[in-house]
Structure 1
Amino acid sequence: MMIYFLCAIILLMGCSVPPMYNKDYEPPSKGLLPYLQKGSMANFSNQGYSVLLYDAEEIGTGEQVKLLQVLNPNGESVRDFSEDMTKLMHLIVVSRDLQFFSHVHPDYEGEGIFRTALDLPYGGDFLFVTEFIPDQKGITVHKQWVRGEGEPPSIMDLAVSENYVETVGQVEFQLSVHPSFKELRSGEMAMLVFSYRDADTGEPIELEPYLGTGGHCVILDETANQYVHVHAVEGMSSSGSVMFHAEFPAAGIYKLWGQFQLKGEVLVVPFVIQVK
């Protein structure tokens, strides 16, 4: 149906049909296809919603517990939430230097309040990104910096990965990019492909769905100002590889975390790339 739809638009515009090409290796950066692809990506705005953060201690465990209250633009507690990728809220926490990364799913307690246990590894500044769908308004993203107690570590410079192979658990992942790492440019659609295999034997393995899809990929620039969260493109992923479509908002150095699942365990695969 999509092919017929595209052809109909081309005919109505009075244009000739362009030559065929392999979109896996020559991804278009302009035109109707990227427009349709971007239409499936989240519009990352807080839409006037806010998230208040409270600290508490869970009795008897000593674990640090975070209470989050979601307020609508009028300052009232939100009571209507819809699931996004099987969860009512996604909380992503990263340290200022992007060395620490955590993706958790707070439990909803009603009256706009969520609760989660979260153990920050050290002191310093941490970016808290909350994603949720309130009042059927679509995906809403709220970002805030939180100061963790304790001594912060020395800030590490973010260095571009020397190679794009990383072993996590028993899985070896290799990242490839189309069009290529040297041709990654801001404002243009890129395809990120995570290929994977058994790290010991090199044999194929099968990953499990994670949060309703083949994988998630969170992307932040080195200042943590530019934020992208994309999901696997199921129709263009296959056994042994997971593909993501992403567009980098500005030039710079970015860190990305691919997230996958094997035998119930979430595997987080980090890489650092350069975008022109």
Structure 2
Amino acid sequence: MFASTRPTVRRRTLAAAATAAVLALTLAACGSSGNSSMPGMDHGAKSSASPSMKASPSMGDMPGMDHMASGNGLSDTKGGYRLTSQDTALQSGKQAAYRFAISGPDGKPVTSFAVDQTKRMHFYAIRSDLTGFQHVHPTMAADGTWTADLASLAPGSWRMFTSFTPDSGSGKGTALVLSRAVTIPGTETKTPLPGAAKSTETDGYTVTVKGAPMAGMAHPLTVTVTKGGKPVTDLQPYLDTYAHLTAFHAGDAAFAHLHPTTKVNGDHGGPELSFNAELPTAGNWRLFLQFQTGDKLHTAALTLNVG
């Protein structure tokens, strides 16, 4: 009796094990499909759960998605990295040097930075009313002290942003944006934020923006550059791209940095440049588009409303 039932029990056991294995493989496949990124989605704009999390190596090959920093840049600390500076005020009406350093999770100065768009450090200065925008590339001393040489600053409250990617330590490969407030003494005259517009002019060029981005969602944005009513097709590469687009949120000056997805092909950029825009907060954003023609850099500014 027992001899005749053992093969049956064994077959039932093997069948149950096979069923469990198939179920496990099915669940694993479903789970992995939920982690795949949708084309055009820039997940780097969201805060990471761990300072040691790094972007996928393949992300650097996707136009418009490489080196996108997490967070809004309104803190001087993130992931154990800290922006420090003794400069809490700078003189107004004249050139000024802002000195700062980046310390790592171990508390020591960081001196190893990855190159991003041809530079190891991008530095932005913006006044609280979103005027006076400056984008410079500071120099670093051997001890890790950076110096950003700024043009004349108008009196008022300013915020200094640093954008960088550590090339060593626990944060290696993680793009970060940190900032600190700086006061420029003197009588402050605030400039009302211009209303939302689709186009603006600078140095004889007309820059037109098409698209209706929604807060927290990736959305295509197209910038067209014309001059005298004619399409511009001689944009030169600037920082390894045809245009550098930075945005600041009205009210808190939250930071966002967008790269064009248009492929660079010599001095033949334009007239249209495409962007993957993901602005996290609704409201008005002040956009600063930098592009280069004839070895001259142009900066166009306009206000974009995000729903």
TM-score (norm 1): 0.76
1:148 and 2:154 are equivalent in the alignment: no
Match among 211, 234, 248 for residue 262 of structure 2: 234
Question: Aligned ranges for residues 260-271 of structure 1 at < 5 Å?
Answer: 260-271=291-302
Offset, 1:164:
2.1
Counterpart residue number, 2:193 = 158
Counterpart residue number, 2:238 = 210
C-alpha distance in structure 2 between counterparts of 1:246 and 1:236, whole Å: 19
Deviations 1:206-254 (A, max 9, x none): 1101111111111111123532101111249963111111112121111
The structure where strand makes up a greater share of residues is 1
Match among 224, 232, 249 for residue 195 of structure 1: 224
Question: Aligned ranges for residues 218-257 of structure 1 at < 5 Å?
Answer: 218-235=246-263, 239-257=270-288
C-alpha distance in structure 2 between counterparts of 1:147 and 1:101, whole Å: 15
1:138 and 2:174 are equivalent in the alignment: yes
- Which is greater in Rg? 2
1:125 and 2:153 are equivalent in the alignment: no
C-alpha distance in structure 1 between counterparts of 2:145 and 2:294, whole Å: 31
Alpha carbons of 1:156 and 1:204: their partners in 2 closer, same or farther (altered >3 Å)?
Answer: closer
Residue 250 of structure 1 aligns to a residue whose secondary structure is coil
C-alpha distance in structure 2 between counterparts of 1:101 and 1:107, whole Å: 19
Counterpart residue number, 1:81 = 113
Match among 51, 66, 91 for residue 98 of structure 2: 66
Residue 82 of structure 1 aligns to a residue whose secondary structure is coil
Counterpart residue number, 1:49 = 81
Alpha carbons of 1:166 and 1:142: their partners in 2 closer, same or farther (altered >3 Å)?
Answer: same
Report if aligned partners of 1:88, 1:108 keep a CA contact under 8 Å in 2. no
Alpha carbons of 1:79 and 1:121: their partners in 2 closer, same or farther (altered >3 Å)?
Answer: closer
Runs of 4+ off more than 3 Å:
34-39, 235-239
TM-score (norm 2): 0.69
Alpha carbons of 1:249 and 1:63: their partners in 2 closer, same or farther (altered >3 Å)?
Answer: closer
Deviations 1:68-93 (A, max 9, x none): 21111232111211111101111011
Offset, 1:36:
6.5
CA RMSD, 1 decimal: 2.7
Gaps of 5+ in 2: 1-28, 31-35, 45-58, 60-64, 72-77, 89-93
C-alpha distance in structure 2 between counterparts of 1:36 and 1:100, whole Å: 28
Offset, 1:174:
1.4
Deviations 1:35-80 (A, max 9, x none): 4686525132532211222459xxxxx7422212111123211121
Report if aligned partners of 1:236, 1:243 keep a CA contact under 8 Å in 2. no
Counterpart residue number, 2:209 = 175
Percent identical pairs in the alignment equals 21
Alpha carbons of 1:138 and 1:99: their partners in 2 closer, same or farther (altered >3 Å)?
Answer: same
Deviations 1:81-112 (A, max 9, x none): 11111011110110000021000000122221
Residue 159 of structure 2 aligns to a residue whose secondary structure is strand
Counterpart residue number, 1:6 = none
